[in-house]
A = this chain, B = another copy of it.
Amino acid sequence: MRIHQMHVTPIAISDPPLLNAAGLHAPYALRTVMELVTDDGISGVSEIPGNVKTNEALESIRDRVIGRDPFQLRSISAAIAEGGDRTDGGTAAGGPDSRGASPWDRRTMVHVQSAIDVACHDIMGKAIGRPVVDLLGGAVRDRVPFAAYLFYKEEGAGGTFGLDIDPAAEGWAAARQRRAHTPDEIVEQARAMCLEFGFKSIKLKGGAFPPDQEANAILALRKAFGPDVPLRLDPNAIWELDTAVRIGLRLQGVLEYFEDPVRGQEAMAALRRKIDIPLATNMCTTSFADLPSAVALGSEDIILSDHHFWGGLLPSVELGRICTTFGRGLSMHSNSHVGISLAAMTHLAAAVPSLSYAVDTHYPWQSEEIVVGGRMQFEDGSLAVSREPGLGVELDRDALERLHRNYLACGLTERNDEVELQKIRPGWGFEPTRW
């Protein structure tokens, strides 16, 4: 069995105006869909954050992928990284192209590695008639719980081709259009999302308003949902250490974990010594190369894995072992995404014993889908782990074509939340540390 074809399709999905430390989500989130087809006609798919540079990188490695056996993950990975650093277990996940200052990751090659890894896993699963999770050591859970991912936001549902405000919308569809700035508006958003999807854990993306306002939102959520619903706050590293200590002391006993309140491993380690809340990160420890200093400094209690950012499913499983070995918990980070990523996240979360936290997902904020059967359905806040071969999803080629046309029409080529927020707050600029 050899990889015979490789198709790279950039898509744009409607995305609401969600606020974060770096600015505002554009009306469309970009994703790139990768399809590999073998000489015996098996198709494997994957989905990664969209960026014109990533798409170019995917095109550039085409010759290194075509003709290869999809089971040879490590040698394919080494071929992709060819000329680069091969000391990182052959996946280049800890390569030299390091994370930038903004809260999304700019490392291109690690996304490329992830795209290939996931599509190959999909092919392998289909070839052997087994779900992807069975290629990762098997399932340790048959359902994966997800968390309600709350955002400060402006009014709107995203998209510019007739998909924005729908006055007839009801329930979550109505709530996801609404503005959310105040604690009451955040609680209202949480109620609608949890009612619709059944989530049992709640995460608030912070870093958008002054810290006490965001802490007040957490306290309002605690009052509304009670102590049995774990709460998380993620200011995306935009706070001063003193601010994080002060807010941390306000939220001790309330937060399940505090995600990247401050920037960098040193500041995280300093904060960790001063407050009694587990610290989580997807910003200060984001690659295998970051782990030795993370362990030496004690910069976090929990790592938010993300197979898109760690080079794929195989390295992510290995990250799970590292977390267990070095006393880290494991949770999972998300970006705006559709069903291929959701399926891959679910298989990964089912395979890793230590992944004991409800998984982040932006999925409720999206409304479109590119897999046959349409939007995936959460039950009681969780997804069943598919027992179908591969990822258990099939490309809806009409939907893919439609969302590819969105990509061509929307004019976006990369994510830039700063520029989006400047459109409604002229002169606004990203600051690595704001409060």
- The chain A residues found within 8 Å of chain B, CB to CB, are 69, 71-76, 78, 86-90, 94, 127-128, 130, 134-135, 137-140, 288-289, 291-292, 295-296, 314-315, 317-322, 324-327, 351, 353-354
Q: Which residues of B contact A326 (CB under 8 A)?
A: 291-292, 295
In the bound complex, do residue B138 and residue A71 qualify as a contact, i.e. CB atoms below 8 Å apart? yes
The contact of A134 among B72, B134, B140, B288, by CB within 8 Å, is B72
With A89-B321, A127-B128 known, 20 other A-B pairs at CB within 8 A are A69-B138, A71-B134, A71-B138, A73-B137, A74-B138, A74-B353, A75-B138, A76-B138, A78-B353, A87-B324, A87-B354, A88-B324, A88-B325, A89-B324, A90-B353, A292-B326, A295-B295, A295-B326, A318-B321, A322-B325
Which residues does chain B contribute within 8 Å of A134, judged by CB atoms? Answer: 71-72
Asked if B74 and A140 sit within 8 Å, CB to CB, the answer is: yes
- Contact between A137 and B314, CB atoms less than 8 A apart: yes
A378 smallest CB distance to B (angstroms): 24
User: What residue of chain B has the Cβ atom nearest to residue A141's Cβ?
Assistant: B75
Among A87, A314, A321, find the residue whose CB has the most chain B CB atoms closer than 10 A.
A321
Bound-state CA distance A302–B351 (Å) is 29
Shortest CB distance A112–B (Å): 17
Q: Do A138 and B324 touch (CB < 8 A)?
A: no
Residues of B contacting A78 in the complex (Cβ-Cβ under 8 angstroms): 140, 353
Q: Closest residue to A327 on the B side, CB-wise?
A: B292
A322 partner residues in chain B, CB cutoff 8 A: 318, 321-322, 325
Closest to A89 in B: B324
A298 shortest CB reach to chain B, Å: 11
Query: How many angstroms from the CA of A73 to the CA of B352 in the assembled complex?
Result: 11
Rounded to whole angstroms, the CA-CA distance of A87 and B353 in the bound complex is 8
Interchain CB contact under 8 A, B71 and A351: no
B contact residues around A321 at 8 Å (CB): 89, 288, 315, 318-319, 321-322
What's the least CB distance linking A37 to chain B, in Å? 19
Instruction: Give the chain B neighbours of A289 by CB distance below 8 A.
Output: 325
Q: Which residues of B contact A94 (CB under 8 A)?
A: 325
* Closest CB in chain B relative to A182 CB, distance in Å: 41
| Alpha-carbon distance between A75 and B314 when the two chains are bound, in angstroms | 18
Q: Which residues of B contact A324 (CB under 8 A)?
A: 87-89, 288
Cβ of A386 to closest chain B Cβ, rounded Å: 14
Residue picked from A139, A289, A315, A322, most chain B C-beta under 10 Å = A322
Chain B residues, Cβ within 8 Å of A88:
324-325
- The complex places the Cα of A327 from the Cα of B73 at a distance, in Å, of 22
Q: Are B140 and A71 in contact (CB under 8 A)?
A: no
Q: Return chain B residues, CB-CB under 8 Å to A327.
A: 292
If A89-B354, A90-B353 touch, whether A75 touches B140 (CB-CB below 8 Å) is: yes
Output the residue of A71, A72, A351 with the most chain B CB within 10 A: A71
Partner of A75, one of B73, B76, B127, B139: B139
Residues in B whose Cβ lies below 8 Å from that of A296 = 296
CB distance from A92 to the nearest CB of B (A): 11
Q: Could you tell me the distance between the alpha carbons of A137 and B76 in the complex, rounded to whole angstroms?
A: 10
